[in-house]
Structure 1
């Protein structure tokens, strides 16, 4: 099959490599254009395409009439889209013989949107996966052409899960393209009643709410890694509270205190850093104080005047 591959971020790179190594022909890699005037590093798909010797095109929008005309000129059989960053119109999808397919990092119809992997981890899901859909103008709403499933490790971050899903998605895309070429693909309509949203995260959402249970806060911290990263504020003897990024934690089994304590209260601050939650407690393992490198919480304690009874701030 003659393919136009559209993608910008890292999730699409394993699929591009698999397509280039297959019997199919990648005609061009289409990526989103540079933002602003500053010179930025090439996005992952552009870097991968250049490494593979593939032509790259970065239009302002694939939905412009001149872009559609150029895409039509490739005379491609199929458009393969993944981690691209723009919703494609019907007229854009119609420039190839078989339209477009999209690799999405969730078990659709669950988690439609820009951050499906992050929301799966944030919600503490035990399972995730990838779906290849036949593209429509709706957001991740097209018929499913195939799915693959992965168990989520209870300690892995959204970034780690996303990397595994991106690798597992490549053979799924190849399988679907093979079925489309053979005329054996069987599209299945998504159940709209089961659809959930996975909107893009913001930096502010990284703020830890200590009133939640220890397990939910751990899921929050896992889901915020590697971006925007979870954080809290630590009281200092002098000056403003210190912004502390939290990268890795573990639930402390059987943790307790002599009496009722407010969520966010430091329970231990010597051999380890333990903080009370709305239910249970968390041991902070890896942290990054503002203006410093990431470090073990034990190293942070050596230079920070934190004592049991201090309270982590849950407000900006």
Structure 2
């Protein structure tokens, strides 16, 4: 029986771990990030993969930093045949990469060499891509640069957002890994070197990427909003305070107005002018210091004074 150490952290990774367990692989341990404070009350919360591992009765290892740690030595002492990672969140040291007889493989949520890095799903949607997918790859010391073993693509619908695509790609990754593992174990898998000339990157989302620039067109801003939904969420400023935009879509009004200016107010939405005469219709928002709410709720409450001509910055 193939002995596996699994490494992952977010909800994306949990179904992949569950598949390994259900398929009868010997999962020696699950390595994940430490518990973190979550929410306004900073409640210490385990990562989804830890919760899944405990539910499956699997031992959990949570290094703050893997390189040079006691936890690394603990993993090496398990002598796994294969290390499988899926959105673990830390770079694996060479000592670990070289240890398993079958190597270390990664389930990466893009069609490499496109979108190497920590936010491939967010970035693909922000960029308006119509296709993405999952790559099973050998891990190397350089970020997401290892040889490709297998890939499977999936369409990005124009109504998809990052949260939904995480779920879809987790399912794709689970099934692709299930289909690919037998060939890795028996040594018959393909191995394709990545084309360095085609590499693009998707670094973790920065605060600057979350800010709406009303000078851009409505389609670009819609991609930004859905690419940042439901986390970390796009925002603008209104009356000198941050104003989160949880959901929006291109409006139907043609507006000869200053970008950021409110040009239409309806019951369930209002439209804001963008840089090319199109508008972005806002449906789900969060004013500073308030909870998330529909625009209908906002217009009945704190937004009741919103007027045509008001401007978002």
Offset of residue 66 of structure 1? 4.3
TM-align CA RMSD: 1.7
Offset of residue 189 of structure 1? 0.6
Alignment-derived partner of residue 116 in structure 2: 112
> Does 2:254 correspond to 1:250?
no
1:60 & 1:274 partners in 2: Cα distance? 45
State how 1:81-160 maps to structure 2 within 5 Å.
81-160=85-164
Alignment-derived partner of residue 312 in structure 2: 312
CA contact (8 A) 1:10 1:83 kept: no
Offset of residue 210 of structure 1? 0.5
1:283 & 1:69 partners in 2: Cα distance? 54
- TM-score where L is the length of structure 2: 0.92
Offset of residue 34 of structure 1? 4.2
2:183 & 2:97 partners in 1: Cα distance? 19
> Does 2:160 correspond to 1:164?
no
2:35 & 2:294 partners in 1: Cα distance? 37
1:11 & 1:213 partners in 2: Cα distance? 31
Question: How many residue pairs are counted as aligned between the two chains?
Answer: 304
Offset of residue 288 of structure 1? 1.5
Offset of residue 270 of structure 1? 4.0
Residues 76-120 of structure 1 show CA distances to partners (whole Å, capped at 9, x for unaligned) of: 110001111111122111221111000111111000001000000
- TM-score where L is the length of structure 1: 0.91
Residues 218-276 of structure 1 show CA distances to partners (whole Å, capped at 9, x for unaligned) of: 000111112221111223xxxxx3432111112123x223xx31111110124341111
SS of structure 2 residue aligned to 1:9: coil
CA contact (8 A) 2:61 2:71 kept: no
> Does 2:222 correspond to 1:188?
no
Offset of residue 205 of structure 1? 2.4
The partner residue of 2:212 within 205, 208, 212 is 208
- 5+ residue gaps, structure 1, are 236-240
> Does 2:274 correspond to 1:277?
yes
Alignment-derived partner of residue 18 in structure 2: 17
